[in-house]
């Protein structure tokens, strides 16, 4: 005979419950089984005899944080397979790390690196093949910029991929070439030219990657992720991880739109699954990134007037794809960063809704960074969910940062305008896109946005990482707030966020993380 798990009571912390309500001091959260059963102030909630007591005095109690846009499985696999260039301070340092990997690799073995950010380097330029060729020899090299929209290849990798001076730009992408017409090794949104030549990950690597990613997420207080743009192999990896008990966080799987027809034929639409793994939205891309100068703008880039960015597909194609997914009854999530790309996305969603009206569609625009006033009005009217990444503001919106260099002072004010969106009662969900993955840093970045008029409150930032992230996956009735009847996904932070300066939020560590009432992480 199995015994019922004893109730747990989290006592004494400052509760920020995810709804946007003011914090509740000296709180009690009662958990029985996998559900929250009571919430209130100490002395007002009856605690059953024999309940396990968790003292959260001086700490903050939150709903489990949800990263609403991540490449979670990729992150885990990169922990195993790639050279991390994320924290390099100079191009020379990054190149030296790659050089060391070449010395340790077998002849002909691919060297894959990721996470480099030229905007943080003193050189302020992209890596190119000329930086890599002197030491790489027979080892092909592929280095992915932090945004994932720009790759650098050495000459050996260019040779394997048959990229020459005669190679034409692929649809929606660009092969950079020198004045002499030779490829420099830089590919902008043109991964398709080389991806098939890089050895794919095995299922064993994918499962180990998910295990490591889950452990890392729990240490950051993250109990749920929306994993964006998954292939069939990657979806199978999630299902296998669920079967094996490897998956410890809840996952909303955003599948690549080109799987749409096969999924429809099997009846696999948005919402299929359970409380741990659920099929989410069809993911599409209409533009690239600001860092790679491939986000699609109405006006040219400030630091390169020769370009307004790229469109990944003709606008009519986007409209047809959105209509098809919408008509099937699924949710769409369109990657759109630049104001022109956002305009095209709004137009596509609007046409789909006119053709097949549906009230509670919750279609999303991922990133949704550079917004006009009229676009904000249309987003509200159409019920679109902006899925945004406040860590981007923290990383690149400061004085002399990447955004100002790319956009100039005027357009910088249009960038990530959280306050304007929330003032229109638009439900905004927050994620990280893994740049970097850290919800606490994201909360801090939203509260301390470098553009003062775009700042939001602590409660609003937490709501975007909890209840509104759950709303974006049609799960706000199930999770995202600490209220009776909701899943007991809980994050406890070691300090009271209401008692410290706003710029210190990013340094606060997680003390404990629960998923479904089970303690899956404790500090130390």
Could you read off the pLDDT tens digit of each residue along the chain, which spans 524 residues?
Answer: 345 678 999 999 999 999 999 999 999 999 999 999 999 999 999 999 999 999 999 999 999 999 999 999 999 999 998 999 999 999 999 999 999 999 999 999 999 999 999 999 999 999 999 999 999 999 999 999 999 999 999 999 999 999 999 999 999 999 999 999 999 999 999 999 999 999 999 999 999 999 999 999 999 999 999 999 999 999 999 999 999 999 999 999 999 999 988 888 888 899 999 999 999 999 999 999 999 999 999 999 999 999 999 999 999 999 999 999 999 999 999 999 999 999 999 999 999 999 999 999 999 999 999 999 999 999 999 999 999 999 999 999 987 899 999 999 999 999 999 999 999 999 999 999 999 999 999 999 999 999 999 999 999 999 999 999 999 999 999 999 999 999 999 999 999 999 999 999 999 999 999 999 999 999 97
Q: Quick one: residue 408, left, alpha or beta (phi over 0 = left, psi -120 to 50 = alpha)?
A: left
106-109: long-range contacts at Cβ-Cβ below 8 A with a sequence spacing of 24 or more? 107/137, 107/138, 107/139, 108/138, 108/139, 108/140, 109/139
Q: Which domain holds residue 119?
A: 87-145+150-188
What is the three-class DSSP state of 519? strand
Say whether both 325 and 364 belong to one domain. yes
The total of structural domains in the chain comes to 3
**Residue 76 domain-assigned (yes or no):** no
323 shares its domain with 227: yes
Q: Are 42 and 165 in a shared domain? A: no
Q: Residue 22 maps to which CATH number?
A: 2.30.40.10
Helix (H, G, I), strand (E, B) or coil at 24: strand
Q: Measured at the alpha carbon of residue 444, what is the angle toward residues 30 and 228, in degrees to the nearest 5?
A: 80
Do 306 and 428 lie in one domain? The reply is yes
Asked whether residue 37 falls in the same domain as residue 141, the answer is no
Is residue 196 in a domain?
no
- Asked if residues 517 and 64 have their Cβ atoms less than 8 Å apart, the reply is no
Place of tokens 């860590």: 391
Q: Does the residue 361 lie in any domain? A: yes
Kindly state whether residue 378 falls inside one of the protein's structural domains.
Answer: yes
Q: Is 82 inside any structural domain?
A: no
- Cβ 318 vs Cβ 345: under 8 Å: yes
**Residue 376 sits in a domain of what CATH number?**
3.20.20.140
**Residue 2 has what pLDDT?**
46
Q: Are residues 326 and 183 in the same domain?
A: no
Q: Model pTM? A: 0.96
For residue 3, the model assigns a pLDDT of 55
Closest CA to 443 of 375, 511, 491: 491
Provide φ and ψ at 35, rounded to 5°.
Answer: -120, 150
The pLDDT of residue 1: 38
Both 336 and 425 in one domain: the answer is yes
Classify residue 74: in a domain, yes or no: no
Residue 4: predicted pLDDT: 65
Residues 49 and 100 in one domain: no
Residue 229 has a CB neighbour count (10 Å cut-off) of 21
Contact 125, 95 (CB under 8 A): no
**Where in 244-344 does DSSP place strands (E)?**
250-256, 277-285, 332-336
Are 302 and 246 found together in one domain?
A: yes
Whether 475 and 486 share a structural domain: no
**69 located within any domain:** no
The answer to the question of residue 181 being in a domain is yes
* Burial of residue 182 (number of CB atoms within 10 Å: 0-12, 13-18, 19+): middle
294 and 406 assigned to the same domain:
yes
Q: Are residues 426 and 347 in the same domain?
A: yes
């Amino acid at each position: 005979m199995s015994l019922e798990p004893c109730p747990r009571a989290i006592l004494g912390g400052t509760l920020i419950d995810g709804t946007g309500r003011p914090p509740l001091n000296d709180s009690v959260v009662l958990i029985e089984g996998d559900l929250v059963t009571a919430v209130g102030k100490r002395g007002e909630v009856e605690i059953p005899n024999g309940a396990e007591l968790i003292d959260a005095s001086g700490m903050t109690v939150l709903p489990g944080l949800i990263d609403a846009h991540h490449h979670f499985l990729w992150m885990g696999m990169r922990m195993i397979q790639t050279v991390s260039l994320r924290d390099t301070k100079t191009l020379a340092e990054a190149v030296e790390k790659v050089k060391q990997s070449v010395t340790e690799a077998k002849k002909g073995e691919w060297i894959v690196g990721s996470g480099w950010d030229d905007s943080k380097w003193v050189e302020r330029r992209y890596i190119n093949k000329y930086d890599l060729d002197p030491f790489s020899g027979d080892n092909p090299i592929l280095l992915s910029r932090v945004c994932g929209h720009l790759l650098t290849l050495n000459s050996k990798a260019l040779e394997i991929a048959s990229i020459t001076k005669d190679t034409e730009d692929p649809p929606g992408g660009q092969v950079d070439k020198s004045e002499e017409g030779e490829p420099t090794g830089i590919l902008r949104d043109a991964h398709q030219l080389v991806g098939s030549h890089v050895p794919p990950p095995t299922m064993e690597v994918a499962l180990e990657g998910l295990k490591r990613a889950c452990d890392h997420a729990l240490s950051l207080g993250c109990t749920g992720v929306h994993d964006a743009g998954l292939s069939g192999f990657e979806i199978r990896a999630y299902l296998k991880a669920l079967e094996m008990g490897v998956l410890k966080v809840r996952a909303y799987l955003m599948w690549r739109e080109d799987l749409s027809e096969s999924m429809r034929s099997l009846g696999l639409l948005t919402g299929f699954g359970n409380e741990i793994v659920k099929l989410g939205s069809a993911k599409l891309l209409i533009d690239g990134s600001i860092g790679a100068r491939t986000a699609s703008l109405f006006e040219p880039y400030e630091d390169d007037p020769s370009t307004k960015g790229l469109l990944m597909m003709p606008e009519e194609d986007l409209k047809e794809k959105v209509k098809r997914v919408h008509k099937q009854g699924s949710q769409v999530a369109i990657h759109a960063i630049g104001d022109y790309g956002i305009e095209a996305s709004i137009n596509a969603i609007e046409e789909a809704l006119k053709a097949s009206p549906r009230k509670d569609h919750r279609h999303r625009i991922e990133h949704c960074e550079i917004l006009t006033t009229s676009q904000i009005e249309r987003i509200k009217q159409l019920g679109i969910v902006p899925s945004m990444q406040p860590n981007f503001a923290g990383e690149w919106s400061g004085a002399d940062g990447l955004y100002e260099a790319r956009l100039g002072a005027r357009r910088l004010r249009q960038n990530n305008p959280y306050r304007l969106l929330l003032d229109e009662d638009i439900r905004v969900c927050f994620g990280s896109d893994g740049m970097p993955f850290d919800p606490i840093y994201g909360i801090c970045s939203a509260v301390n946005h470098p553009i003062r008029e775009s700042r939001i409150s602590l409660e609003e930032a937490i709501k975007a990482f909890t209840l509104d992230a759950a709303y974006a996956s049609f799960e706000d009735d199930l999770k995202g707030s600490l209220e009776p009847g909701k899943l007991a996904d809980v994050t406890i932070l070691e300090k009271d966020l209401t008692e410290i300066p706003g710029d210190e939020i990013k340094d606060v560590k997680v003390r404990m993380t629960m998923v479904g009432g089970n303690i899956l992480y404790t500090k130390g």
